[in-house]
Structure 1
Amino acid sequence: MAALKIPPGLEFDVVIVDEASQVRLSHAAVAAGLASQIIVIGDSQQMAPTNTFTRARQSQAQTTMALSLLDHAVTSGLPSKMLKQHYRSKHESLILFSNTRYYQGQLDIIPSPLLDDSLGTAFRFVPDAIYGRGERAIT
């Protein structure tokens, strides 16, 4: 484990943490402690950070520290604002399921200027395909 050396008197007016759903509280604590304000930006529907090598039995403190900074901001009741415009998908069908399932249709999806049928999602039947691994595979 590397030591963190912080110069004495180092202070910031504000710390901005983007993609906060991917940042563990324990990793953000030092930076947050150096500022009088923190702005936490993230998507509560995004998958939290994972640790493949985490022990099966964790103490409550370890579990709490493994939560994301965004989880803590949301559960602490800090004021929040939803940004509703979605512009990242090249085709509307790429975000349609998530918009319906996780965002209750609140996202304002900016239509793609490309009307190309090759973009987006498509379903194809693959004969004799096997889905899954091992004994639980489905054909």
Structure 2
Amino acid sequence: MTDLARDRRTSRPGRAVVWVQVAFLIAYLMGSFVVLILAAVRADDLGAILHPGLERLGDPKDSLPGVGPDSLVNPLVWIFGGCRLIAWLIYPIGIAMLLLGAATLAHTWRSGDRRTSLQLAVLTVIWLILIALAATPYGNGLLRWLLD
């Protein structure tokens, strides 16, 4: 049994990059699609999820969850503000996550940590898909709506 425990290799840099990619992925999804869905529900126009814009959804700031006072001491204001900032910066953050994941994937694969390698591969592909989605007219419309 101890031989199996010793045989198992783990890559600390790989696991750290997995956590960073997951954290930025959750923040991006909260800052873009959660805000979009909340705006569509608030406007009672679920079709606007496929065509986001000011004329159908209004200002995206109005769709942020307003639990508690809207002041700088409310942690939700900071959390959703940071998530919106990550959604605004999808191109540089997405490319950084893609490059970081690809570089760490090679190191993790060579070190023999297959589980972390698989997680890195899946997350890197997800970031590639998100960058490609952001480059489409839909992603461009979503980004323009979020920036207003």
Give the TM interval when normalised to the shorter protein. under 0.3
Larger Rg: 1
- TM, length-normalised to structure 2: 0.23
- TM, length-normalised to structure 1: 0.24
Which has the larger helix fraction?
A: 2
